[in-house]
Structure 1
Amino acid sequence: MSVTTLFTGRSPADGDPVTDIYRYAARKGVIEAVEVAAEDLGLSLREAHEAVANLVESRLLRVDDSEGRRFVPVDPELASASLVSSVEREIYQRRELIDQIRERMGAFRSEYGDAGRSSAASAVEYLVGAMEVRGFLKMAGDACRDEVLAMQAAGGDVEDLSQMYLTLLARGVTVRIICQHRSRADVSTRMLLKRLTDAGAAVFTVSHVPRSAVVFDRALVVMFGVEDDGEASVARVHSHGIAKFLLDLFNHLWETATPLEGVEVGYANVADDLQQAIASLMAKGYTDEVVARKLGMSVRSCRRHIAMLMRDLDATSRFQAGVQAARRYLGAAG
């Protein structure tokens, strides 16, 4: 048992050799010999030695002779103060190391930036693999100070980013998320989004989001993708022009989106918007499967909406329903 285990595991209890040894030392005022303590407590010699070693490491026992056989108990408050000071010293040393690493890497940033301006390809940096992606997102989240704007496309998993959003919200960072309407129909996703809105995030939904992306502090752009082998990937974009384009796209979608409120599951609040999107795609001749994929819903759900649309319009074909509905919504918009 290590010091970390002692202080982060279960609470000490009767029958725990460490607790029993410390209680024995406190009662007698000293452990003259570990062998004697083991015999008195009914412990094996190995258990007794391991418990004593742990208590010495935890500052709760102190060696009191040159041979290392005699031990005296230490006041837990003094032991605690000693341990905390050593942990604080280690934290300080690690922070110094972090600062040194950042300072060292910062010396190369201008070189990298100068090279990047002469090459369009270097404007985009790709990271592949769950570990690399997760590490980069943590770094981006830690550096974020003011605002996060997120677009969640079909197939994207908001659960992967939810903890980062919650951490940012707890720090006072503004978080705005646009998801597809399909998020309203999935119970687990709806509850997860409800947790984010309860924490202060603003979540809106639209019919279609073209690509999953996150913009940190209106400057750092992260675009999500999946490699051919199924590995998660992100593209870190260093282009001011692309950042501005995504901000404009986000704002355009936000103006037409519908706020997600409550925990009710289903499309009731966005039925008109969803039917308009379906009609527009049907009018272009897309199959049910393509319409469903573009809107991020199951083919079964998509066909149910199409059947309702055709019934409402008294249409005899999918194409006719699409054209009629598109004209209706276009006229309403005008």
Structure 2
Amino acid sequence: MASRRDPYARVSHALDQGKRRVRLGVAAPAQTLRGSQSSLWDCITKLRSQARQEILSFDDTSYLLAHDVPDPIQQRGPATLRAALGRGARVRQVTSRAGILADQQLGAIVYRAGGEARVVDVVPLKLSIIDRQTALLPLNSAVLAEGFQIIRDPSVVSALVAVHQTLWNEGAEPEGMERDLPPPHLAAILPALASGATDEVAASRLGLSARTYSRRVGELLTLLGVRNRFQAGAEAVRRGWL
């Protein structure tokens, strides 16, 4: 029995039960989609455009940075959510403090545009549920743009909705958190720093020169009042930035 408190275990249990239902012939298998990031987002956009009541999601913008998702692809997710809001659908996102930190410039967490959000320590995976009927689950657990499954088994979707509701109930309101965060031009540095990537790789992911990235790391150390990157990570965790 999956722990009621462990979202990872509950998601894993739901998926295992779904596979069992497929083997028993009482549920259709999930549809797996792979391809270019652009073609995958064309499919996601079409599916989300069908939302008339609600989109529930786990979203963490820091995952996009860690997986080097190109800027044009990063922009498409928020656009689909804002379009849903424009149609009168409800958008409820669960994110993390790291996600809020990394999101100050992108705006993928759309609570300022009429959506709703809650902040937890860590989101278990990337997830999008459309009208409580269709779930989109990434193959790598982090980003949809690298391939995903379309799950329509009502039993599995209901279990994923329940996990979302649990974390939603446990989460905090995002309003006011920005006052405790670093300025936007330094916000993306921390997730990149925590990923362990070299300066060259991290700079490339952020669209910066290596020199600019190094300068911003130095600025971040000064802001945190520490001498090195290890101390910066520890202090960022203490402040709840990571």
TM beyond 0.5 = yes
- Residue of structure 2 equivalent to 1:304: 235
Q: Which runs of 5+ in 2 are unaligned?
A: 1-21, 66-73, 183-193, 196-228
- Residue of structure 2 equivalent to 1:256: 170
Indicate if the aligned counterparts of 1:169 and 1:175 stay in contact, CA closer than 8 A.
yes
Count residues in correspondence: 163
Q: Deviations over 1:254-300 (max 9, x none)?
A: 111111115725459xxxxxxxxxxxxxxxxxxxxxxx67xxxx976
Indicate if the aligned counterparts of 1:206 and 1:257 stay in contact, CA closer than 8 A.
yes
Q: Deviations over 1:2-37 (max 9, x none)?
A: xxxxxxxxxxxxxxxxxxxxxxxxxxxxxxxxxxxx
- Residue of structure 1 equivalent to 2:160: 246
CA positional deviation for 1:226: 3.9
**Quick one: which of 111, 116, 127 aligns to 1:197?**
111
- Residue of structure 1 equivalent to 2:63: 155
- Residue of structure 2 equivalent to 1:132: 39
Distance 2:170 2:120 in 1: 7
Return the TM-score normalized by structure 2: 0.56
Indicate if the aligned counterparts of 1:191 and 1:263 stay in contact, CA closer than 8 A.
no
Amino acid of the residue matched to residue 40 of structure 2? V
CA positional deviation for 1:156: 4.1
Q: How does 1:1-334 map to 2 (within 5 A)?
A: 119=25, 122-129=28-35, 130-153=37-60, 155-156=63-64, 159-186=75-102, 189-193=103-107, 196-226=110-140, 232-262=146-176, 264=178, 266=180, 301-305=232-236
Residues 308, 221 of structure 1: alpha-carbon distance in 2 compared, 3 angstrom cutoff: closer
Return the TM-score normalized by structure 1: 0.42
Going by fraction, where is helix more abundant, 1 or 2? 1
Residue aligned with 1:260, SS: coil
CA positional deviation for 1:132: 3.1
Q: Which runs of 5+ in 1 are unaligned?
A: 1-115, 269-291, 310-334
Matched-pair identity in % = 17
Distance 1:233 1:299 in 2: 34
Amino acid of the residue matched to residue 127 of structure 1? L
Larger Rg: 1
Residues 117, 167 of structure 1: alpha-carbon distance in 2 compared, 3 angstrom cutoff: farther
Q: Once superposed, which parts of structure 1, at least 4 consecutive aligned residues long, lie more than 3 Å away? A: 116-122, 156-160, 191-195, 265-268, 298-302, 305-309
RCO higher in 1 or 2 (8 Å CA, sep ≥ 6)?
2
Amino acid of the residue matched to residue 256 of structure 1? E
Residues 196, 122 of structure 1: alpha-carbon distance in 2 compared, 3 angstrom cutoff: same
